[in-house]
């Protein structure tokens, strides 16, 4: 497994996926585990007769907010300030991290407890704070596991989904002193509870991500199952919440719609255990909200890419994606894997390969609770890569040739009849080495004697 998240070696998606696929038993296990989430999602969605109506509402209310974002962000800021919340704005990850560090430094914070936030992953905040002497403790169980294992998340909702319980057991044995060989999830979870309770009780500050920010209330909504965000935010006197500009919604009605689909689409639960609405700091405490752009306004300049900002980070598209399930979260050269990771990360992918980690099957688009047109966005990224002349897999070399070949009937007919002849008369063992990935995994096609056009000319010409 270490091969997959090491910094060395190729970062190209197909190369990483090839390594992941070598252990087929593990691929099957991974694919099945995630498909189980898809099945739970299907059951939860079926139980709501108005499911498709909710998806449409989710899509439209997010689109409405995005198209009035200036107004809603300003309203949100004003309402927050009226509630005693300090609001900060950050253009990029670096500025975000610096703002966080300044707040923490002012309060002489040595230990920060943190609940899940894909934004802080995107900003690479943890290593930055650690460099400045602050202990950052991820408190979501899955996040804690991968933090102890020194790995990034491999999924946005279930970050340690790629690890087997035996591996977690061994990790906890080494790092938390649990019994050797013990891998019972209940035992390991209780051990993590005890370990993290001590961290909650001694932290000087807490940070969470934001699922929704309610403009007309000046409140942030944080959803967890474990209660880690709330244990964190309500013990120390200092609470910080980081949010992308895309997290704002107009009002409680909008939040009501998204809260109905978020957990159902993520894990098949009717709602997360805790949906917490923070409308100001606790008595005698301080509450900060950091609003981050980090490339989002840039995406909004492109009509197609802009729609990816409707995403509510449920992870449903990862669970349904046949490629993600068989290539794992570490095969994508971006913090967020899977379809939504390609949609929001392809422009940062220096291998230019992630837009091609997709068959354009469209399942993600139909699963999405806010109707993000993921397959269209991914196809659009391919076009942008082609226009920027940054195609992967040798495509810029062979695609023009294919284009000319396909457009030339005579050339195609001549060479295809030669190919059919070769397939019919030459032994497979001779041909396979020349057929690349196709013949490596599949038998070569059984070639017919002639094309349909030839048959038609013979049998139907009038």
Partner 1 sequence: MSSKNSILSALKQSALTAHPMPVIDIEVTPQPLVDTFAASLATVAGELHQQGGLAALQAKVDELMAQGLQVLSLVEGVNGNRQVPNTAHELADIDYAILAGELGVAENGAIWVSQTQHRVTPFICENLILALPEKALVANMHQAVNQVSLAQGELGVFVAGPSKTADIEQALVVGAHGACSLQVYLY
Partner 2 sequence: MKIALFIPCLVNQMMPEVAIATLQVLEKLGHEVVFPQGQTCCGQPMTNSGCFTEAKKTTLKLLNAFKGVECDAIVCPAASCLVAAKENFHEFDSSQEAQDVINKLYELTEFLHDIAPIEHFARPINKKISLQMSCHGIRMLNLATPTEEMGKQRFNKVEAVLGKIAGLEIVYPERIDECCGFGGTFAVDEGAVSAKMGKDKAQAHAATGAQYAVGFDPSCLLHLDGMIRRQLLAIETRHIAQIINDAL
The footprint of partner 2 on residues 316-375 (CB under 8 A) is 320, 322-323, 326-327, 355-363, 365-367
Residue from 246, 228, 253 nearest 343 by CA: 246
User: Among 16, 260, 313, 381, which residue sits at the site for partner 1 (rule: CB under 8 A)?
Assistant: 260
Find the shortest distance in angstroms from Cβ 83 to partner 2.
Answer: 38
The stretch near partner 1 (CB under 8 A) out of 83-91, 380-388, 390-398, 433-441 is: 83-91
Size of the site for partner 2 (CB under 8 A): 77
| Per CB under 8 A, 164 contacts partner 1 | yes
Q: What's the token pair of residue 9?
A: 């070696």
DSSP 131-152: HTT-EEEE-SHHHHHHHHTT--
Binding partner of residue 63 among partner 1, partner 2, none, CB cut-off 5 to 8 Å per kind: partner 1
Nearest to partner 1 of 3, 52 (CB atom):
52
- d(Cα 78, Cα 62) in Å, to the nearest integer? 21
- Cβ(119)–Cβ(292) under 8 Å? yes
C-alpha angle 288/58/359, rounded to 5°?
A: 105
279 touching partner 1, by CB under 8 A: yes
**Footprint on residues 75-104 left by partner 2 (CB under 8 A):** none
Q: Is 205 exposed, middle or buried (0-12, 13-18, 19+ CB in 10 A)?
A: buried
- To which residue do tokens 């041909």 refer? 431
- Contacting partner 1 (CB under 8 A), which of 84, 127, 400, 445? 84
Residue 168 contact, options partner 1, partner 2, none, Cβ 5-8 Å cut-off depending on partner type: partner 1
Residue whose tokens read 């989710």: 58
What 3-state DSSP class applies to 292?
strand
Question: How many Å apart are CA 271 and CA 260, to the nearest integer?
Answer: 7
Q: Which of residues 374-433 bind partner 2 (CB under 8 A)?
A: 379, 381-387, 391-393, 395, 399-400, 402-404, 406-409, 412, 416, 420
Q: Does position 345 bind partner 1 by CB under 8 A?
A: no
The CA-CA-CA angle for residues 139, 144, 147, to 5°, reads 130
- Contacted entry of partner 2, partner 1, none for residue 391, CB cut-off 5 to 8 Å set by kind: partner 2
| Cβ nearer to partner 2, comparing 239 with 365 | 365
Residue from 256, 403, 428, 448 touching partner 1 (CB under 8 A): that is 256
- Alpha helices for 161-251 (secondary structure H): 165-176, 185-202, 228-233
Answer with the entry of partner 2, partner 1, none that 420 interacts with (C-beta below 5 to 8 A by kind): partner 2
Which CB sits closer to partner 2, 173 or 326? 326
Nearer to partner 1, 164 or 173 (CB): 164
Binding mask 22-61 for partner 2 (x = CB under 8 A): --x--x---x---x------x--xx-xx-xx---------
The b-or-e profile of 6-16 (16+ CB within 10 A means b, else e) is eeeeebbbbeb
Binding string, residues 7-46; x marks residues near partner 1 by CB under 8 A: --------------------------x--xx---------
Report the residue number, 13 or 288, with the smaller CB distance to partner 1.
288
Question: For residue 155, what are its two tokens?
Answer: 């999924």
Give the whole-angstrom CA distance, residue 176 versus residue 325.
30
Q: For residues 451 and 139, give the distance between their C-alpha atoms in angstroms, rounded to a whole number.
A: 63
Query: Residue 23 or residue 449: which is nearer to partner 1 going by CB?
Result: 23
Residue count of the chain = 462
């Amino acid at each position: 497994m270490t091969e997959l998240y090491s910094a060395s070696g190729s970062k190209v998606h197909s190369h990483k996926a090839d390594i992941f696929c070598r252990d087929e038993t593990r691929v099957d296990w991974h694919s099945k585990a995630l498909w189980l989430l898809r099945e739970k999602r299907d059951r939860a969605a079926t139980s709501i007769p108005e499911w498709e109506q909710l998806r449409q509402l989710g899509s439209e209310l997010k689109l409405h907010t995005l198209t009035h974002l200036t107004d809603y962000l300003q309203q949100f800021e004003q309402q927050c300030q009226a509630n005693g919340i300090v609001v900060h704005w950050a253009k990029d990850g670096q500025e975000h991290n610096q703002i966080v560090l300044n707040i923490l430094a002012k309060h002489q914070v040595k230990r920060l407890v943190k609940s899940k936030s894909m934004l802080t992953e995107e900003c690479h905040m943890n290593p930055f704070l650690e460099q400045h002497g602050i202990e950052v403790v991820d408190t979501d169980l899955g996040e804690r596991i991968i933090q102890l294992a020194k790995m990034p998340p491999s999924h946005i909702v279930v970050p340690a989904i790629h690890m087997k319980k035996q591996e977690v057991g061994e990790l906890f044995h080494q790092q938390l002193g649990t019994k050797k060989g013990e891998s019972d999830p209940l035992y390991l979870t209780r051990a993590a509870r005890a370990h993290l309770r001590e961290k909650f009780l001694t932290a000087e500050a807490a940070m969470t991500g934001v699922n929704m920010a309610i403009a007309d209330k000046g409140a942030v909504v944080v959803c967890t199952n474990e209660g880690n965000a709330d244990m964190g935010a309500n013990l120390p006197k200092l609470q910080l919440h980081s949010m992308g500009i895309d997290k704002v919604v107009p009002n409680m009605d909008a939040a009501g719609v998204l809260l109905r689909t978020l957990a159902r689409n993520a894990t098949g639960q009717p709602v997360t255990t805790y949906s917490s609405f923070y409308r100001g700091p606790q008595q005698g405490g301080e509450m900060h909200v950091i609003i981050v752009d980090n490339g989002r306004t840039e995406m909004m300049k492109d009509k197609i890419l802009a729609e990816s900002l409707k995403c509510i980070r449920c992870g449903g598209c990862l669970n349904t994606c046949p490629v993600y399930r068989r290539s794992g979260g570490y095969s994508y050269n971006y913090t967020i894997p899977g379809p939504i990771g390609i949609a929001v990360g392809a422009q940062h992918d220096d291998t230019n390969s992630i837009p091609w980690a997709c068959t354009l099957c469209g399942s993600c688009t139909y699963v999405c609770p806010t109707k993000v047109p993921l397959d269209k966005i991914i196809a659009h990224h391919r076009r942008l890569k082609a226009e920027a002349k940054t195609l992967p897999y040798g495509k810029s070399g062979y695609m023009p040739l294919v284009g000319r070949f396909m457009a030339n009937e005579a050339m195609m007919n001549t060479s295809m009849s030669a190919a059919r002849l070769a397939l019919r008369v030459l032994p497979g063992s001779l041909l396979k080495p020349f057929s690349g990935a196709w013949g490596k995994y599949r038998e070569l096609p059984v070639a017919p004697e002639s094309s349909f056009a030839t048959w038609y000319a013979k049998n139907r010409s009038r």
